[in-house]
Structure 1
Amino acid sequence: MKNRLLSLDVLRGLTMILMTVVNNPGDWGHVYAPLLHAEWHGCTPTDLVFPTFLFIVGITTVLATPVKTLNKVALQKLITRGLRIFCLGLFLSFFSKIHFLDWEGIPLLSFRLVITLVVAYALFGNYNKTTQLYVAVAVFLIMMVLAFGGFKDFETVRIPGVLQRIAIVYLIITLIYLSTGLTVQLGIATVLLIVYWLLMTYIPVPGFGEANLEKGTNLAAWLDNRLLGGHLWVTSKTWDPEGILSTLPAIATGILGLWTGSILVSNRTIGQKFTFLFVMAVSGIAAGWLWGLSFPVNKALWTSSYVLYAAGWALLCFTLFYYIIDIRGWKRFTQPFVAFGVNPMIVFFLSGIIPRVWNVIKIQVTGTAGEMVGMKEYWYKYILSPRFSNPMNASLADALIYLLFWYVIVSILYRNRIIIKV
């Protein structure tokens, strides 16, 4: 942990903390507005969480690659890590759809957990590098066969997702970083943003007519439905916020992280780095807002204006942490954030599994004629919520308790210097 940039770990930790809170309210019907995504156009603090993580992926790629070498070994390592992250995200979609014979309740849950342990070892295990690649490919192919092979249980399993997008962006921007210079990288990002803007605002949508940015009828939604129909976000069914076309501008988000990392490892003085990054952060926010007047800031579409706006905020937060922690040396408050920041993948993966486990375990409600509810619902509805007069506070309290649960776990890992890598 000695050579890590502390301010970056703090920002990553803050991102994971916010991601854990916004993904796990006690009641989705009672959530404070800043902890919800914008309904469509617009941007809330929650909408800034995911692009900040992608932005950090770009910075980390530079800091973790002191020598730019694209050979067989580096390529194998890159593909293996990308596949492992992709498969972890994919398995989150598969978990609740796994069935065996006519098993239900605890027997079915036990079977799912055994499969989870096998998959977790396959994708987190630290064994022979070549074997890691073969295993990752095997896990990927098995899930693809289950999804597209006519198996009823998996015919609507979601293919895109947050970890899947992280994997794709990580793979592509690392290849770009290892094979090009900064000027070319920024050129690629610019082209991606402009091409995406042109596609979304000028290309007619088959079956819907003129180009538009509405739910379900825009070009990105059409492409998702055309290529992944039936395997999309369950809430929308006809489009996906981590879909195919919107991955293009997401790659630009990662490249802006590469650019930031390149500034950090440059020969500039610390003061020059801070000043330059601060100016670029404010400029990004302003440019995104201005572009948003004609191409609205929209997280679900990952619009080009959203890329600049969100990257600007991510860079501003990083720059402030960089000043406070790395320049001024104020580090006493950092431990909780760093504990989350050095183990992000295990937190994201298991925090997606645990609520699904709780929902399978049923508890009989006292005073009812055998009514059974999931343990998560029972805890919130019958134990926690009655202690609050405001349901919004109860919902937030549930998320914070879950966060505290994870803080205990990551603190133990951190104190024992255990970093679980993919």
Structure 2
Amino acid sequence: MNRIQSIDVFRGLTVAAMILVNNPGDWATVYQPLLHAEWHGLTPTDLIFPFFIFIVGVSISLAYNNKKPSKEIYRKILIRSLKLFGLGLFLNWFIPNYPFFESYTTVRIPGVLQRIGIVFFITSILYLNFRKKTLVIISILILVTYNVLLGVVPLPNGLIPSFDRVPNNWANYIDVKFLGNHLWKPDYDPEGILSTIPTIVSCLMGIFIGEVLKIHNKQKLLRLLCIYSLSFLALGYIWNSFFPINKSLWTSSFVLVTSSWASLFVLVIYYLCDVKQKSYGIIFTYVGMNAIGIYFLSSFISKAFYLVKINEQENIHSLLYNYSYNSFIDTGNLASLCYALTVLSFYLVLSYILFKRKIFFKV
């Protein structure tokens, strides 16, 4: 089917938001909406990663529309998944000084790209082999079972389960037991093992919206998007009362609320770009067409800037920040944001140059 411009815009906008929140001038001076919630709760920043997972689902629905399972399709899915996982692992493993790679005994195994690769692989297989009704049933079973496990089932050590960041949390317990020193923090990882399972539902929610986007009657399409978005948003906030919204645990309420917000964004962008034919977000289209490449490059350069030392007190990042905005803007939060916006502007321009030269990084 024809390419849907709003999806490229939404994908690019999401990657742009990732770059913005990942590159402040100083992590100690950041406006609260640009930080993740400490544990339970939801900030605008907490929407970004589930939005990208949601877009992966939309893309699966559009890319594999009416395709039948085959060895060749499975091979391509597997290769792409392994590439995504490998790129993410490389970001965790690489350090820009001798011996260039972190010890295999402590390198972090989970990560953003790793989770995208795993979720893409599983969700693509599900989409190719099951009908929509079956996928809905699978989604419900995952969300309900996950809630019951984390909230009701006692841990092997006999502790009563909890949603808090403590040892008697099932997600953290499994991460520590099976990943050990390979975690982001000693006691948990926001892209851990157990929390990856409900992430599959976030991707399936994108598939369901992708199916809606195939409807030719645009008025009906917009009406269904509105109904689905508001209905699941209400359900998600109701569920929040007994299974708190939590990104690190990727709780069932978090899945519904973030997927609903993503659907509402799609609704608005689709109306502007594909119905009214407006070009407000054209710059984000360029980013969206090179989403993984731009995200990987921005993450790699950001890590290098922090780790490459200029002298005993400064690295490349602190040198650039301290001698730019931090030297003439008194408000720390504003200076930090201006630096992040400058970094984002660089990648927006780079995306435009890549688009004009027809350079697209395929993963």
Tell me if both proteins adopt one fold, taking TM over 0.5 as the criterion.
yes
Which whole-Å CA distance do the structure 1 matches of 2:263 and 2:294 have between them?
23
- Aligned residue for 2:159? 209
- Aligned residue for 2:196? 247
How far 1:381 moved relative to its partner?
Answer: 2.1
Which whole-Å CA distance do the structure 1 matches of 2:158 and 2:115 have between them?
27
Which whole-Å CA distance do the structure 2 matches of 1:216 and 1:57 have between them?
32
Aligned pair 1:265/2:265, yes or no? no
User: Cα–Cα, structure 1 residues 35 and 210, in superposed 2: closer, same or farther, change >3 Å?
Assistant: same
Runs in 1 of length 4+ with deviation above 6 angstroms? none
Identity among equivalent positions (%) equals 40
The secondary structure found in structure 1 opposite 2:25 is coil
User: Cα–Cα, structure 1 residues 11 and 208, in superposed 2: closer, same or farther, change >3 Å?
Assistant: farther
Matches within 5 A, 1:168-187: 168-187=118-137
The secondary structure found in structure 2 opposite 1:76 is helix
Match among 308, 313, 316 for residue 261 of structure 2: 313
User: Cα–Cα, structure 1 residues 36 and 372, in superposed 2: closer, same or farther, change >3 Å?
Assistant: closer
Which runs of no fewer than 5 residues in structure 2 stay unpaired? Answer: none
**Preserved CA contact (<8 Å) 1:206 1:222:** no
- Aligned residue for 1:95? 94
User: Cα–Cα, structure 1 residues 98 and 363, in superposed 2: closer, same or farther, change >3 Å?
Assistant: closer
CA RMSD in angstroms comes to: 1.6
How far 1:208 moved relative to its partner?
Answer: 6.7
What residue identity is the alignment partner of 2:359? Answer: I
Which whole-Å CA distance do the structure 2 matches of 1:216 and 1:409 have between them?
43
Deviation by residue 1:290-320 (Cα, 9 ceiling, x = unmatched): 1001100011110000000000000000011
Which whole-Å CA distance do the structure 1 matches of 2:98 and 2:136 have between them?
47
- Aligned residue for 2:304? 357
What residue identity is the alignment partner of 1:16? Answer: V
How far 1:283 moved relative to its partner?
Answer: 1.1
**Preserved CA contact (<8 Å) 1:216 1:239:** no
Which whole-Å CA distance do the structure 2 matches of 1:193 and 1:251 have between them?
10
Aligned positions, number: 362
How far 1:88 moved relative to its partner?
Answer: 0.5
- Aligned residue for 1:291? 239
Which whole-Å CA distance do the structure 2 matches of 1:79 and 1:261 have between them?
22
Which whole-Å CA distance do the structure 2 matches of 1:97 and 1:249 have between them?
35
How far 1:406 moved relative to its partner?
Answer: 0.8
Which whole-Å CA distance do the structure 1 matches of 2:269 and 2:356 have between them?
23
How far 1:372 moved relative to its partner?
Answer: 4.7
Which has more radius of gyration? 1
- Aligned residue for 2:315? 374
What residue identity is the alignment partner of 2:218? Answer: I
What residue identity is the alignment partner of 1:170? Answer: F
Deviation by residue 1:341-363 (Cα, 9 ceiling, x = unmatched): 11111111111111222234433
Which whole-Å CA distance do the structure 2 matches of 1:207 and 1:378 have between them?
49
**Preserved CA contact (<8 Å) 1:97 1:153:** no
What TM-score do you get using the length of structure 2 for normalisation?
Answer: 0.96
How far 1:373 moved relative to its partner?
Answer: 1.6
What residue identity is the alignment partner of 1:51? Answer: P
Deviation by residue 1:388-421 (Cα, 9 ceiling, x = unmatched): 0100001101111111111121110111222211
- Aligned residue for 1:231? 182
Which whole-Å CA distance do the structure 1 matches of 2:307 and 2:248 have between them?
30
- Aligned residue for 1:71? 70
